[in-house]
């Protein structure tokens, strides 16, 4: 779980408020909805809860959190699905559960780097669904943290949390004012920074054996900004033999993380679905 020690206070969320008046969001808080996002939040000891709404007493989100060893620290309110629709908006895929939480404290880069694994750095990637999907891949491939530029990254919102499918609670999202300085700090902290962009060599995970890598990705269309690109130790691209010349940034992040994970993968590893009985 994310465990801030010193850190900075959470920023006030600028995300859109839910549709209904009852769903108005206090400063520094946000609604999370959907089974995976809520279950993960309930299992996070660093979360501060204000309300928990469910459409049934034994909602799957509650059961999943309890199975993960969590103690539900807030009394659920049983509500009708229509009430959630009104509060969150009819387009919200809430799956019958929503929780009002305070935003997580911001970890410092130094704190986040105490976690093992590669680092992801996003250069002005602003779409919350993309950032959420990247967090999900970061959790799947064992990344230490996600570093973003404070003023050019989405706030902690329900949309981001749902796309992250629980990873918002487990992968620290470090907000930095100056991305070039953050990259420099990563380098001083022992990371080899690789900009994922055209015009370089081929990203080859096993070639980084023994080195901790920070993978830097730019926004779709724009790519890496010049100063960000120049700050990286090297530029590398993905092997794409097909006709498409680019990928969605969240897909590129997942492929890049997998490539880095190959260096750490045990020779005896088998995906859980294909493991043979012992």
Q: What is the DSSP string of 100-116?
A: EEEPPPBPPHHHHTTS-
What kind and span of H or E run contains 50?
strand 49-54
- For the whole prediction, is pTM greater than 0.75? yes
Tell whether 237 and 216 lie within a shared domain.
Answer: yes
Residue 216 belongs to some domain of the structure: yes
Tell whether 256 and 190 lie within a shared domain.
Answer: yes
Q: Say if CB 238 and CB 123 are below 8 A apart.
A: no
Residue 123, CB half-sphere, CA atoms under 13 Å: how many?
28
- The residues, any chain, with a CB within 8 Å of residue 3's CB and separated by 6 or more, are 46
Question: What is the phi/psi pair of residue 140, to 5°?
Answer: -65, -35
Tell whether 197 and 256 lie within a shared domain.
Answer: yes
By residue range, what is the domain housing residue 249?
109-262
Tell whether 73 and 117 lie within a shared domain.
Answer: no
Tell whether 98 and 147 lie within a shared domain.
Answer: no
User: At 191, which CATH number?
Assistant: 3.40.1280.10
Residue 1 belongs to some domain of the structure: no
- The residues, any chain, with a CB within 8 Å of residue 182's CB and separated by 6 or more, are 109, 121, 147, 149, 174, 176
Residue 37 belongs to some domain of the structure: yes
Tell whether 165 and 97 lie within a shared domain.
Answer: no
Tell whether 73 and 124 lie within a shared domain.
Answer: no
Query: Residue-wise pLDDT tens for the chain (278 aa)?
Result: 454 444 555 554 444 445 555 656 777 888 999 999 999 999 999 999 999 999 999 999 999 999 989 889 999 999 999 999 998 887 888 999 999 999 888 889 999 999 999 999 999 999 999 999 999 999 999 999 999 998 999 999 899 999 999 999 999 999 999 999 999 999 999 999 999 998 889 999 989 988 999 999 998 888 899 999 999 999 999 999 898 888 999 999 999 999 999 888 877 777 776 554 44
Residue 127 belongs to some domain of the structure: yes
| CA 246 to each of CA 141, 239, 243, 251, 253: distance values in angstroms, whole numbers, following the listed order | 22, 11, 9, 10, 12
Tell whether 115 and 208 lie within a shared domain.
Answer: yes
**Domain count across the chain:** 2
Tell whether 116 and 253 lie within a shared domain.
Answer: yes
Q: For residue 118, what are its two tokens?
A: 């590669």
Tell whether 230 and 143 lie within a shared domain.
Answer: yes
Tell whether 152 and 167 lie within a shared domain.
Answer: yes
CA 151-245-212 angle, 5° bins: 55
User: Given 66, 84, 102, which residue is the final one in a domain?
Assistant: 102
Q: What's the DSSP call for residue 162?
A: H
User: At 72, which CATH number?
Assistant: 3.30.1330.30
Tell whether 88 and 131 lie within a shared domain.
Answer: no
Residue 4 belongs to some domain of the structure: no
């Amino acid at each position: 779980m994310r465990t801030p020690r010193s850190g900075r206070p959470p920023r006030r969320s600028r995300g859109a408020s839910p549709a209904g008046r009852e769903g108005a969001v206090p400063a520094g808080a946000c609604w999370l909805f959907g089974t995976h996002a809520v279950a993960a939040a309930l299992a996070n000891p660093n979360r501060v809860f204000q309300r928990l709404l469910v459409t049934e007493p034994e909602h799957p989100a509650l059961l999943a959190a309890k199975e993960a060893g969590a103690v539900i620290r807030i009394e659920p309110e049983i509500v009708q699905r229509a009430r959630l629709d009104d509060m969150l908006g009819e387009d919200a895929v809430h799956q019958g559960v929503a929780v009002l939480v305070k935003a997580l404290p911001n970890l410092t880069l130094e704190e986040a780097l105490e976690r093992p694994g590669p680092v992801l750095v996003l250069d002005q990637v602003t779409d919350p669904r993309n950032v959420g999907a990247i967090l999900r891949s970061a959790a799947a491939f064992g990344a230490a943290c996600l570093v973003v530029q404070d003023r050019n990254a989405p706030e902690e919102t329900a949309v981001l949390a749902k796309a992250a499918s629980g990873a918002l609670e487990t992968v620290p999202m470090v907000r930095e004012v100056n991305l070039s300085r953050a990259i420099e700090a990563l380098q001083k902290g022992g990371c080899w920074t690789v900009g994922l962009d055209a015009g370089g060599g081929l990203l080859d995970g096993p070639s980084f054996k023994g080195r901790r890598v920070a993978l830097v990705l730019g926004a779709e269309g724009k790519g890496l900004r010049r100063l960000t690109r120049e700050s990286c130790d090297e530029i590398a691209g993905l092997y794409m033999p097909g006709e498409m010349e680019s990928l969605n940034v969240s897909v590129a992040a997942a492929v890049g993380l997998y490539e880095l994970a190959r260096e750490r993968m045990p020779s005896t590893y088998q995906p859980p679905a294909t493991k043979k009985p012992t």
